[in-house]
A and B are shown apart, each in its own frame.
Chain A
Amino acid sequence: MTQRPSWQEPPTLAGQSAKGLTLGGVLLMVLVPLWIVVLTSLSTKGAINRAGGLVIWPDGITFEAYEEMLTDSTVRTALLVSFGITIVGTAISMVVSILCAYGLSRSDSFGHRFILVLLIITMFVSGGLIPTFLVVTGLGGYGQWWALILPGAVSVFNILILRSFYSSTAAELIDAARIDGGSEWRILWSIVLPTSRAVTAVISLFYAVGYWNSFFNVMLYMPTESEKWPLQYVLLTYVNRGVGMPGSVNAGFGMEHAQTAPLSLQMAVVVLTLVPLVIVYPFVQKHFRTGVLTGAIKG
């Protein structure tokens, strides 16, 4: 798509430079802080304490923060757990959400409005933390991986987005297929899914990122099972070093309790969080190319 389509006007200098300036400004606003974060993660204790905070110019460089985390066997196990939870969770969520979104996409289907309202209510009404905890533990979820997946497996927001795509972009094709007498399962599988790859990619990304970054349910349902923890929670314990312990509590508790986590470690955690996203995003992105839809239909 790098080639300009024949029907499009040649770009004007003013238009190009306005675009360039805007994008350049936007990029700069993100890249500068990113540089600071990465640099701080690579800085020595001395460099950070001389800077009095985040480091802007290189002063002393070290990989200590990364070494500390990556040599921790808990981190390595947690990485596998995180991959597992993300893959299994995303798969479950996508199947459930796509089915639900398609099931609700027909504008005259039986009961779809009632079910939609039922769904939307959950976006705004919550029974609170403790009742949810009691339900999950009542079902035997304490210390179980499923407790990190199922309670949050359905995002109504994501279902609404999927549904909106199904009922707008692919609507004509679906109607035609229905007239031809195709079963709903068949329509979903061979028409809807192939023509809506972009939104499938986006929603998968939303779910995957959600699972990858989630830690709150870990805190509730397996706060002491360190060998079962996903990565984000282990990283959180690195960041939370010394946080929230009253300063008056004397530090007779060993080195770790005495000090808040060095900034380098905290920033290394941020960088480690970003790495998988930087790796994954191109795979999502390639579904954004215009023409995917038409291509699929012709094929």
Chain B
Amino acid sequence: MKERLLRDRSLLIMVVPAVVLLLIFNYVPMVGVITAFQYYDPLIGIWDSDWAGLDQFQQLFADSRFWDSLTNTLYLSFVQLILFFPIPIALAMLLNSVLSERVRNFVQSVVYLPHFFSWVLVITIFQQMLGGAGALNQFLRSHNLGTWDVMTNPDTFALLVTFQGVWKEAGWGIIVFLAALAAINPGLYEAAAADGAGPFRRMWHITLPGLRGVIVLMLVLRLGGALSVGFEQFLIQREAVGHDAAEVLDTYAFYYGIATTNYSFGAAAGLFKSVISLLLIWGANKLAHSFGEDGLYRK
């Protein structure tokens, strides 16, 4: 062990700055986690606030709205995983296969722009296009074709928010995959082509394996973040579809925690989310290992 320590000392020194920053700005404030076991009052401070024991957690677990929001979150996460996750990968591969550099550059630099739109703007645009008084429905109305309710329908809300998410973030999401594609040695394609492999076989045997590391990493992180599906997007559309469909864990913690200055209750919900997320990412990493992948680190 001493040998390894000696051998790896430069590597360890390299890690120091990041670790120090995280210790100061992330680990020290983590003392705040204990507010979940208090009746915390910021004006009194962590050290002097009254202890609540597990009271906040009891209230949390006894609240059916909490469980509803958890169910919503997991459902939305699942839908996003299936319908959203593969799209940036597919788009990146599609773009990569375009020969004309001009076209490729233009498309790339356009599709990543919606990432910089605020959610308020994105939803305003959606409302103006697909809303009850939007361009589409005014067209349908003027041709007596009835109307199509997309923006306020709780039943299709999951699809709507996923579509909004794809529109806003897919273009941004392709960037990291483009970088991975750029790292693939073109010589491999040439050799495969010489061996008679067609485009699909080349994709299967060269492109996808080249992306595998990043895809698995992203997938593991996505699973670990399964309880985070977004906040503002749901906050803004909460009234449109009703809180039954739009309440997710983060909005729940906001409304029943910070918004009512019930900080400790919010902290309890947050701590619950943290613990489950850590379990999820640990499980996802295990799963990756069991498929022989690296996941977050090599087994």
Complex Cα spacing A96 to B273, Å: 29
The reply to whether the CB of A153 lies closer than 8 angstroms to some CB of chain B is: yes
Dominant SS among interface residues on chain B: helix
Q: Is the CB of B111 within 8 A of A121?
A: no
The reply to whether the CB of A127 lies closer than 8 angstroms to some CB of chain B is: yes
Q: Is the CB of A33 within 8 A of B186?
A: no
The reply to whether the CB of B242 lies closer than 8 angstroms to some CB of chain A is: no
Q: Is the CB of A169 within 8 A of B183?
A: yes
Interface segment, one of A23-31, A69-77, A253-261: A23-31
Q: Is the CB of B297 within 8 A of A153?
A: no
A53 with B278: in contact, given A27-B110, A293-B182 (CB under 8 Å)? Answer: no
A214 to chain B, nearest CB (A): 13
A283 to chain B, nearest CB (A): 11
A213 with B116: in contact, given A151-B25, A198-B179 (CB under 8 Å)? Answer: yes
The reply to whether the CB of A87 lies closer than 8 angstroms to some CB of chain B is: no
Q: Give the tally of cross-chain contacts (CB within 8 A).
A: 270
Q: Flag B173-191 by CB within 8 Å of A: 1 or 0 each.
A: 0011011111111110110
Q: Is the CB of A99 within 8 A of B15?
A: yes
A154 with B22: in contact, given A160-B217, A288-B178 (CB under 8 Å)? Answer: yes
The reply to whether the CB of A237 lies closer than 8 angstroms to some CB of chain B is: no
The reply to whether the CB of A46 lies closer than 8 angstroms to some CB of chain B is: no
Q: Is the CB of B29 within 8 A of A289?
A: no
Q: Is the CB of A125 within 8 A of B33?
A: yes
Q: Which residues from B are CB-within-8-Å of A164?
A: 213-214, 217, 294
The reply to whether the CB of A19 lies closer than 8 angstroms to some CB of chain B is: yes
A120 with B29: in contact, given A27-B107, A164-B217 (CB under 8 Å)? Answer: no
The reply to whether the CB of A277 lies closer than 8 angstroms to some CB of chain B is: yes
Which of A8, A11, A95, A196: most chain B CB closer than 10 A?
A: A8
Interface segment, one of B4-12, B53-61, B74-82: B4-12
Per the 8 Å Cβ criterion, residues 37-90 of A in contact with B are: 37, 53-54, 56
Q: Which residues from B are CB-within-8-Å of A293?
A: 182-183, 185
Q: Which residues from A are CB-within-8-Å of B145?
A: none
Q: Is the CB of A4 within 8 A of B213?
A: no
Q: Is the CB of A126 within 8 A of B26?
A: yes
A213 to chain B, nearest CB (A): 7
Q: Is the CB of B11 within 8 A of A126?
A: no
A135 to chain B, nearest CB (A): 5
Complex Cα spacing A198 to B25, Å: 29
The reply to whether the CB of B281 lies closer than 8 angstroms to some CB of chain A is: yes
Interface segment, one of A103-111, A218-226, A244-252: A103-111
Q: Which residues from A are CB-within-8-Å of B129?
A: 33
Q: Which residues from A are CB-within-8-Å of B213?
A: 164-165, 167-168
Q: Is the CB of B11 within 8 A of A106?
A: yes
Q: Which residues from B are CB-within-8-Å of A2?
A: 99-102
A96 with B21: in contact, given A2-B100, A23-B94, A157-B221 (CB under 8 Å)? Answer: yes
Q: Of the candidates B97, B167, B270, B278, which one forms a contact with A128 in the assembled complex, judged by CB atoms under 8 Å apart? A: B270
| CB closest chain-B residue, reference A286 | B105
Q: Is the CB of A100 within 8 A of B116?
A: no
Q: Which residues from A are CB-within-8-Å of B187?
A: 294
The reply to whether the CB of B64 lies closer than 8 angstroms to some CB of chain A is: no
Q: Which residues from A are CB-within-8-Å of B62?
A: none
The reply to whether the CB of B128 lies closer than 8 angstroms to some CB of chain A is: yes
Q: Is the CB of A294 within 8 A of B105?
A: no
Q: Is the CB of B28 within 8 A of A99?
A: no
Q: Which residues from A are CB-within-8-Å of B22?
A: 118-119, 122, 154, 156
Q: Is the CB of B32 within 8 A of A127?
A: yes
Complex Cα spacing A112 to B4, Å: 11
Please, could you name 6 A-B residue pairs with CB atoms under 8 Å apart, sorted by A? A26-B107, A27-B107, A56-B135, A109-B4, A160-B221, A198-B180
A side interface size, CB within 8 A: 105
The reply to whether the CB of B160 lies closer than 8 angstroms to some CB of chain A is: no
Per the 8 Å Cβ criterion, residues 143-176 of A in contact with B are: 150-154, 156-157, 159-161, 164-165, 167-169
The reply to whether the CB of B42 lies closer than 8 angstroms to some CB of chain A is: yes
Q: Is the CB of A135 within 8 A of B28?
A: yes
Complex Cα spacing A213 to B267, Å: 27
A285 with B14: in contact, given A36-B125, A128-B270 (CB under 8 Å)? Answer: no
Q: Is the CB of B171 within 8 A of A30?
A: yes
Per the 8 Å Cβ criterion, residues 247-299 of A in contact with B are: 266, 270, 273-274, 277-278, 281-282, 284-285, 287-294
Q: Flag B28-47 by CB within 8 Å of A: 1 or 0 each.
A: 11111101000000100010
A131 to chain B, nearest CB (A): 3
Q: Is the CB of A183 within 8 A of B10?
A: yes
Which of A34, A135, A293: most chain B CB closer than 10 A?
A: A135
The reply to whether the CB of B17 lies closer than 8 angstroms to some CB of chain A is: yes
Q: Which residues from A are CB-within-8-Å of B267?
A: 128
The reply to whether the CB of A116 lies closer than 8 angstroms to some CB of chain B is: yes
Lowest 7 CB-CB distances: which A-B pairs, in order? A127-B32, A103-B14, A131-B32, A127-B29, A100-B18, A7-B193, A131-B29
Complex Cα spacing A156 to B105, Å: 29
Complex Cα spacing A37 to B118, Å: 12
A273 with B17: in contact, given A126-B270, A127-B30 (CB under 8 Å)? Answer: no
Complex Cα spacing A23 to B145, Å: 30
| CB closest chain-B residue, reference A99 | B14
Q: Is the CB of B110 within 8 A of A99?
A: no
Q: Is the CB of A22 within 8 A of B110?
A: no
Q: Which residues from B are CB-within-8-Å of A53?
A: 124, 128
The reply to whether the CB of A185 lies closer than 8 angstroms to some CB of chain B is: yes
| CB closest chain-A residue, reference B274 | A125
